[in-house]
Amino acid sequence: FSDEVRRYIIDNALRWFDEFHIDALRLDAVHALVDNTATHLLEELTIETRRLCAHLRRPLTLIAESDLNDPKLITPRSSGGYGLDAQWDDDVHHAVHAAVSGERQGYYGDFGSLQCLADTFRQGFFHAGTFSTFRGRLHGRPLDTRRTPASSLVVYTCTHDQIGNRAIGDRPGTYLTDGQLAVKAALILCSPFTPMLFMGEEWGADTPFQYFTSHPEPELASATATGRKKEFAEHGWSHEDVPDPQDPDTFERSKLPWDEIGEARHARLLDCYRSLIALRRARPDITDPWLEHLGVDYDEDAHWIVLTRGSVRVACNLGAGQVTVPIGGSPLLWWDAPSQDETASATTIPPHSFVVLDSSVTA
């Protein structure tokens, strides 16, 4: 693109910071930016954002959404990177979702095992120069976990993309148990990464979040609908299930019913989210951003996985039957109440549940 277009893009971002007092920007689909100049557009945006940050005397944050699994985005400029503050990490979402839900269609095909989940948590990316069956080629690049904190990776149980890009925009709460939702929340909120919530997930909203548009051009509207039906066919969904993005009802169905929060089922999950967030805020071990300090153990056959965060252990049972995990400690938080043997050296976890243990204290 021309110098004028480049200037337009950068000035647009800076205006949101300066005139509208925005604290952070999510830069959508930066993998689609083609820039062959010596100083990439994203690096120049970083430079000018830092300059504006000093002038405004407040922190300004740039977060990229990228499909490349390329650490260069968040590598400091002094080390040859673009110096962005953070980037979304779809691999963590895919690894958690596939392991909990059992879904394997589309880009979930390479995910699903607990080994995959453990590797993704340890490395930051699952595809880090490995073969992606969905893409049919090698994908990604390793993250230097000694120099890049995991807090530079934004993770989530779901997003507008991961829900809206399903055929009917169904939320996880409509096809997973409440316990499975709680397990996903525990894995994300107790991880070394920066967690992000999608509106309504904290109480397991039942309403869909469907892809909706208001294109005034009939040709564009038709092309969008046709393209989405083709994409969903590759994921195993029938094109007949896909709602019309231009239909006002598609938008109306996607609104959150806030009165759900008062219902017992939703209130329980909301309380779980609040408790996990409070625990994350209270325990420095959980917010430690260095992956070298993270321990991950699992049993593929028994369907349990344990994250060790200093003295805090997060034990999750992803299976449909209760399991006994060979760890002890004082229970701090759980979905369904666990039990321990007389020596408190092993913990039994009910199906689709988790428990957070303090290993420095015996029960």
DSSP string covering 318-341, please?
Answer: -SSS-EEES---EEEEESS--EE-
With 60 as the cut, is the pLDDT of residue 363 above it? no
User: What's the mean pLDDT in 264-279?
Assistant: 98
Neighbouring residues of 279: CB distance < 8 A, sequence distance ≥ 6: 190, 286, 332, 333, 356
Provide the pLDDT confidence category of residue 197 given band limits of 50, 70 and 90. very high
User: What's the mean pLDDT in 97-118?
Assistant: 95
Kindly state the tokens that stand for 173. Answer: 């709460």
Cα–Cα dist 297/343, whole Å: 21
Among residues 18, 44, 48, 65, the one annotated as catalytic is 65
What was the pLDDT predicted at 1? Answer: 80
Q: Contact, 31 vs 135, CB < 8 A?
A: no
pLDDT tens digit string along 303-333?
Answer: 999 999 999 999 999 999 999 999 999 999 9
Q: Which residue has the tokens 């039994």?
A: 348
Among residues 28, 144, 292, 341, the one annotated as catalytic is 28
Cα–Cα dist 309/288, whole Å: 8
What was the pLDDT predicted at 85? Answer: 98
With 70 as the cut, is the pLDDT of residue 294 above it? yes
Specify whether 28 is catalytic.
yes
* Entry field: residues in the chain: 363
Backbone CA torsion sign across 118, 124, 128, 132: positive
Q: Contact, 159 vs 256, CB < 8 A?
A: no
Specify whether 217 is catalytic.
no
